[in-house]
Amino acid sequence: MNKPRGTEKTVYRAKFSSITDTDICNAMNSLGEPNRNEALSVDARQELDLRIGCAFTRFQTKYFQGKYGNLDSSLISFGPCQTPTLGFCVERHDKIQSFKPETYWVLQAKVNHEKESSLTLEWDRVRVFDREIAQMFLNITKMAREAKVESVSKKEKAKQRPLALNTVEMLRVASAALGMGPQHTMQIAERLYTQGYISYPRTETTHYPENFDLKEPLRQQANNPYWAETVKALLSEGVNRPRKGHDAGDHPPITPMRAATEAELGFTEIMPWQSIPLEESLPNCEKGDIFPVSEVKLLEKQTNPPDYLTEAELITLMEKHGIGTDASIPVHINNICQRNYVTVESGRRLKPTNLGIVLVHGYYKIDAELVLPTIRSAVEKQLNLIAQGKANYQQVLEHTLDIFKRKFHYFVDSIAGMDELMEVSFSPLAATGKPLSRCGKCHRFMKYIQAKPSRLHCSHCDETYSLPQNGTIKLYKELRCPLDDFELVLWSSGSRGKSYPLCPYCYNHPPFRDMKKGMGCNECTHPTCQHSLSMLGIGQCVECENGVLVLDPTSGPKWKMACNKCNVIVHFFENAHKVRVSPETCESCDAALVDVDFNKAKSPLPGDETQHSGCVFCDPVFQDLVELKHAATRHPMHRGGQGKRQGRGRGKGRRPGGRPNPKRPKDKMADLAAYFV
């Protein structure tokens, strides 16, 4: 054993790529020092994955576990590499679900040969999407009784030799050709390595070094019953150097080190499944030959959606986007299978489960970077720079943790967004929800889920619409929003509180710039809609600066108007038959005038009059009929506590965005998550 000279260190590194006598002896005779930068890079990767994974996994598992009866996973895990891996699978699923087939037409002709069976000709145009044009081509070709050979061409095809085998390519080939999962493949490869059959199976390199002895591995295969003749021919005729591939500076490509009775090695002569497929043999013909046409027809077909990702395709995407290393890729794919996020279908295709789909959609809804490969790819580049000594370990670690710490806190504050998707997919309450109002997109009934947070769900469109909380929801006269055709619903906090109609779509997707998410029709600025603020607003609130008193058209015969910002309610015109907001305004206070039609038996007007128009605030006839009150209870006017008033009309004490301060978690699991990040 030769130690490096001029050092008294006791820890050395022996580098070898195969468990053979020669490699072990050479490694012990050329000991080196451990690479501190590479060790720091590994430490950084482990610490980042552990702390980030633990924080997100523990929080979301604790939050969702036991909340839904049919949630089929005991551990809802998150991983910086695992989650983007799942994202690739769900992205393909979404493309399949959103695919709309298109009809196209193909012209097909068959000709006869003297002694040959009928021959099907391929259309040079391939296909057309216009039936009239296709029919025109059919009419033209139908007139022909013979087909003339215009030209004859022959091509010689050659397939390039494969690159030397690295880990990722081994995983792809094993999945596509042998039907083996990545995790199983790595287990077999590790066993072959420890038994001395192959070199180290974890490598990114596809290039043999110039001093690599290619003949020695071949000699080990000279007596193999399957390819002995091929090997002997190579040894006698000389070995061509392999194609130059990528040198990652780690281990040489995976190489067989000794013969085995059951193995598959070589190229097309001994790997016929990789050979160029033989095309259909054509009859001998020359330019000018004539073939009688036996049939010409038009075939109607449809475009097909993409299929689910195979393991081999997923491995390619992970390698392309820098998700995981050659050693960890099988672990990440195995994890999403074990967590029941995907199932392995026939052909080793990965189909996402409902849980996997909801998780990815939830991440996209809260923070798309949690599932996109971009941020992890950037982290991997920084880790590689640490290994090369070009980046500071502590700075990379602190910077990355700071980014994910912010993302984690935002994720905790926004978990209700994922909760909405979870409840729709897994809660039995969603199945028992009752049809309430029609969707403006598909015009089918949406189900009203009464459990908090209450919402509407369209199963056909797979869309969920949030609703105001702490009140009752019912259909509003089957009236529809003029913007999106959704049926309106009425929110009410009770007979002594306020109520207002709202459009489920506008409530979640504000149609105008001056509107915010969570606003009902009493704050909508549509200029002509009969339910909007423009048509029902009467005047400025008497107690808050920003609010407007809006007529509640459903409150009769105990009519009232309520502030759309605070809890002020104004009762007026009890037992009136009809109350309508006039387009005219008061000259004194600029409030909208009100037209009132009283019942004849209970009219407070002099002279048995039943109709009067005037200003609620200035008209002396109306002054004794107006009573100012406050809502019986303080209640949030918007989803999830948005708009909750600490003082009348001001919204004091709220955080930006209107969300209340979240309660500090009391469970140990969440405290641990806070500790990790």
Q: What's the pLDDT tens digit per position in 135-193?
A: 888 888 888 888 888 888 877 777 778 888 888 889 888 888 888 888 899 899 988 88
**Structure confidence at residue 665 (pLDDT):** 43
**Structure confidence at residue 260 (pLDDT):** 65
Q: How far apart are CA 188 and CA 258, in angstroms?
A: 16
**Structure confidence at residue 27 (pLDDT):** 83
Is 70 exceeded by the pLDDT of residue 264?
A: no
Is residue 673 very low, low, confident or very high in pLDDT (cuts 50, 70, 90)?
Answer: very low
CB 235 within 8 A of CB 222: yes
Domain range summary for the chain, segments of one domain joined by +: 1-34, 36-97+310-417, 103-148+288-302, 167-274
Is residue 309 very low, low, confident or very high in pLDDT (cuts 50, 70, 90)?
Answer: very high
The conformation of residue 588, written as its DSSP 8-state character, comes to: T
**Structure confidence at residue 6 (pLDDT):** 58
Is 60 exceeded by the pLDDT of residue 403?
A: yes
Q: Which CATH number fits domain 167-274: 1.10.290.10, 2.20.25.90, 1.10.287.130, 1.10.599.10?
A: 1.10.290.10
Q: How far apart are CA 492 and CA 508, in angstroms?
A: 18
The bridge status of strand 548-551 relative to strand 560-563 is antiparallel
200 is catalytic: yes
Q: Which residue has the higher pLDDT, 500 or 542?
A: 500
**Structure confidence at residue 273 (pLDDT):** 53
Mean pLDDT (the chain) is 81
**Structure confidence at residue 219 (pLDDT):** 83
Q: What angle do CA 237, 239, 240 make, to 5 degrees?
A: 120
Task: Read off the amino acid at residue 521.
Answer: C
Contacts 24+ apart (CB under 8 A), 501-510: 501/476, 501/531, 501/554, 502/467, 502/468, 504/437, 504/446, 504/456, 504/465, 504/467, 505/440, 505/465, 505/481, 506/481, 507/465, 507/466, 507/467, 507/468, 507/639, 508/465, 508/466
Exposure of 478 in the CB half-sphere (CA atoms within 13 A)? 2
Judge if 36-97+310-417 and 167-274 fold alike in CATH terms: no
Two tokens, residue 334? 């195995």
Q: Please list, in sequence order, all residues whose beta carbon lies within 8 angstroms of the beta carbon of residue 117, skipping any fewer than 6 positions away.
A: none
Residue 106, helix vs strand vs coil: strand
Q: Span 452-476, mean pLDDT?
A: 84
Q: Which of these is catalytic: 63, 193, 200, 465?
A: 200
Is residue 4 very low, low, confident or very high in pLDDT (cuts 50, 70, 90)?
Answer: low
Q: Which residue has the higher pLDDT, 444 or 155?
A: 444
Q: Which residue has the higher pLDDT, 406 or 566?
A: 406
Q: Span 206-234, mean pLDDT?
A: 81
**Structure confidence at residue 432 (pLDDT):** 57
The CATH code of domain 36-97+310-417 reads 1.10.460.10
Is 50 exceeded by the pLDDT of residue 653?
A: no
Q: How far apart are CA 477 and CA 462, in angstroms?
A: 25
Q: Which residue has the higher pLDDT, 200 or 629?
A: 200
**Structure confidence at residue 25 (pLDDT):** 86
Two tokens, residue 617? 């605030």
Is 90 exceeded by the pLDDT of residue 427?
A: no
From 571, 568, 572, 573, select the one nearest 542 (Cα to Cα). 568
Mind listing the pLDDT tens digit for each residue in 505-526?
A: 999 999 998 889 999 999 999 9
Is residue 47 very low, low, confident or very high in pLDDT (cuts 50, 70, 90)?
Answer: very high
Tell me the CA distances in angstroms from 306 to 92, 176, 309, 349, 451, one per residue in order: 8, 17, 9, 12, 38
Q: Which residue has the higher pLDDT, 117 or 89?
A: 89
Is residue 283 very low, low, confident or very high in pLDDT (cuts 50, 70, 90)?
Answer: low
Q: Which residue has the tokens 């008294």?
A: 8
Is residue 92 very low, low, confident or very high in pLDDT (cuts 50, 70, 90)?
Answer: very high
Q: Which residue has the tokens 């105008």?
A: 512
Is residue 324 very low, low, confident or very high in pLDDT (cuts 50, 70, 90)?
Answer: confident
CA 671 to chain centroid, in Å, comes to: 29
Q: Which residue has the tokens 């081999």?
A: 312
Two tokens, residue 421? 């998707």
Is 50 exceeded by the pLDDT of residue 456?
A: yes
Is residue 3 very low, low, confident or very high in pLDDT (cuts 50, 70, 90)?
Answer: low
